[in-house]
Copies of this chain bind each other. A is one copy, B any other.
Amino acid sequence: MAKRISQDQIAKELGVSQSLVSLVLNGRREGVAEESYKMIWAAALKQGYVPRGGMHPMHAPDVQHSYVGVVMRAGLALAAQSNTFSHVSHGLFTALQHLNISLAFLGGEGDLDETKLFEVVSRRDPLLGIVILGEVKEPFMQALGELELKLVSVYASSPGLCHSIVPNDKQSVEQLVDHLVALGHTRFAWLGGNAKLGRNRLRLAALKERLAARDLLLDDRYVVNAEGAERQDGFDCAAELMRRAEGQNMPTAWVCHNGLIARGGLQFAYLRGIKVPGEISIAAVDRTRACTEIHPYLTSAASDPELIGAEAAKLLRSQPEEIGQWNKMFIDLVAPSLFEAGETSATRPE
């Protein structure tokens, strides 16, 4: 164990008096140059100065209170609707709660720069680790890596940088396709969201692949993608799809990027008087509340986001020796997908 550092050592290193260091660390600003103030604090932090007087939270009885930080990919707000990440947070939250660990939202990718990240880490209450929700940019990930904290990436993997837990989208799509094919469907459509994110491509590719395996083809005209991934996007996708299918053999099986897209598509169908699941079947890669918020429940398949959150908690809690050195060996967990037949799919109409 490194021996503790004293104010005197800091003072000597900086060429000032111990008194000044003491004043500064106690927050005295009057009569102290701003420059000195910052310099002394920076030195104290860097050298890992710990005040005497004890009382480090680490030693408090019973309590081992610490917290886990959460950062979100760019473009996501805390108030995001029924989106997957609120379920993930919930899973994380409940898993950590028993251990007296709380969850702090540190911000989104866009809000945090290196300075802010550093500040977060230099707090005293022990920060157990950080969970990253979604796909963030490489440099941001790098900056996080330099914090030397436990990191877990959720819904995106960062090979060589941290552990990750991702849903098994391939399996989800396969389950949906298999279900729909079993019901007799042959003409498929893809209603995609978040066109720019990798998850869209991944799911679409899985769809094409599985259909191919069943000797079916996904007509490119029936691949519709939207920028976002919310209800209105689903509605718009459905509208676009119908325009493209005008006068032709309509696809009877709509596979949707997520539940909100599916709900939007469903609403479009209601307005057009299209029967679901009488005329078309709708299925979504989803396992959020959107699936069961109201009847008809969605036919859906996805990895349980709460489970993913809970697993993230486990990864954070696990000791280095259990799962290899942090910052050395990384685990990529893939959460299994669960299929749930809902009320939006039925046998293909004649």
**B81 near A54: Cβ-Cβ < 8 Å:** no
**A293 near B231: Cβ-Cβ < 8 Å:** yes
**B53 near A41: Cβ-Cβ < 8 Å:** no
Chain B contacts of A319 at CB under 8 A?
none
Between-chain CB contacts (< 8 Å), 27 pairs: A7-B53, A25-B53, A26-B54, A27-B56, A27-B59, A38-B61, A38-B62, A50-B53, A50-B55, A51-B52, A52-B52, A53-B53, A60-B119, A65-B119, A65-B122, A69-B102, A78-B90, A78-B93, A93-B105, A97-B111, A102-B106, A103-B105, A104-B104, A105-B105, A125-B125, A235-B295, A270-B271
- With CB as the reference atom, state the residue of chain B lying closest to A87: B79
Q: How far is the CA of A62 from the CA of B45 in the complex (A)?
A: 14
How many residues of chain A get a CB closer than 8 Å to chain B's CBs? 72
Report copies per complex.
2
Q: Does A267 contact B (CB under 8 A)?
A: yes
Main secondary structure of the interface of A (DSSP, over half): mixed
**A25 near B59: Cβ-Cβ < 8 Å:** yes
- What mask results when residues 220 to 255 of chain A are scored 1 for a CB within 8 Å of chain B, else 0? 000000000011100100000000000000000000
Q: Does A82 contact B (CB under 8 A)?
A: yes
Chain B contacts of A125 at CB under 8 A?
123-125
Q: Does A120 contact B (CB under 8 A)?
A: yes
A205 to chain B, nearest CB (A): 28
Q: Which residues of A contact B (CB under 8 A)?
A: 7, 22, 24-27, 34, 37-38, 41, 44-45, 49-63, 65, 67, 69, 77-82, 86-87, 89-90, 93, 97, 100, 102-107, 111, 116, 119-120, 122-125, 230-232, 235, 263-264, 267, 270-271, 288-289, 293-295, 306
**A65 near B120: Cβ-Cβ < 8 Å:** yes
A200 to chain B, nearest CB (A): 20
**A77 near B90: Cβ-Cβ < 8 Å:** yes
Q: How far is the CA of A144 from the CA of B51 in the complex (A)?
A: 30
- With CB as the reference atom, state the residue of chain B lying closest to A289: B81
Determine which of B86, B105, B263 lies in contact with A79 in the assembled complex, contact meaning CB atoms within 8 Å.
B86
Q: How far is the CA of A5 from the CA of B196 in the complex (A)?
A: 58
Determine which of B41, B61, B230, B264 lies in contact with A37 in the assembled complex, contact meaning CB atoms within 8 Å.
B61
Chain B contacts of A55 at CB under 8 A?
25, 44, 49-51, 124
Chain B contacts of A26 at CB under 8 A?
54, 56, 59
